[in-house]
Amino acid sequence: MAKYQPGQSGNPRGRPTPEKKSAAIRKLILNSAPEFVGMMIASAKAGDVNAGRALLVCACPALKPVELPVTLPMDADAGIADQGRSVINALAQGLIAPGQAAVILQALAGIAKLIELEEFERRLRSLEAKP
């Protein structure tokens, strides 16, 4: 005789979802957190460098560089290559950070690609318009 009837689940509540498991683990960790942190502090005070490092990494994350907005003297009528040279000159003079220069140069490269596509489209239309 079959233990289960066909079409009926042997586990009516179903398999527990991973979210339920991770929520239970999180709850256990949160309940034990004060004791755990206390043990880490005691270990760090006793000379455990790794415990001290772990506490510092969690409490004081590494600082990320912040780049402030800058205004560059660039001629809007100048060509893209000239504008790129202006950015490199500003970088060389220390007026902008290397990351800022890279972002501006990438933007100029994007504009150059758009201009190239516009020119290609214009040429294609003029060729198609010829009889």
Nearest alpha-carbon partner for 105 in 76, 81, 74, 79: 81
Sketch the domain layout of the chain as residue ranges: 18-59, 80-129
pLDDT of 1 higher than 60 = no
Distance, in Å, from the CA atom of 105 to the CA atom of 86, rounded to the nearest integer, reads 10
- For residue 124, is pLDDT > 80? yes
> What is the predicted pLDDT for the residue at 2?
62
What's the pLDDT tens digit per position in 64-95? 877 778 777 777 788 889 999 999 999 999 88
Say yes or no to pLDDT of 3 above 90: no
* Phi-psi domain of 61 (left: phi exceeds 0; alpha: psi -120 through 50; beta: other): beta
pLDDT in tens, 12-71: 777 766 677 788 888 888 898 889 889 989 999 999 999 999 888 888 888 887 777 877
The residue ranking higher by pLDDT, 97 or 21, is 97
Q: What is the pLDDT of residue 18?
A: 66
At 123 the three-state DSSP class reads helix
Task: Please determine, for residue 101, whether its predicted confidence score (pLDDT) is greater than 60.
Answer: yes
To the question of pTM greater than 0.85 for the whole model, the response is: no
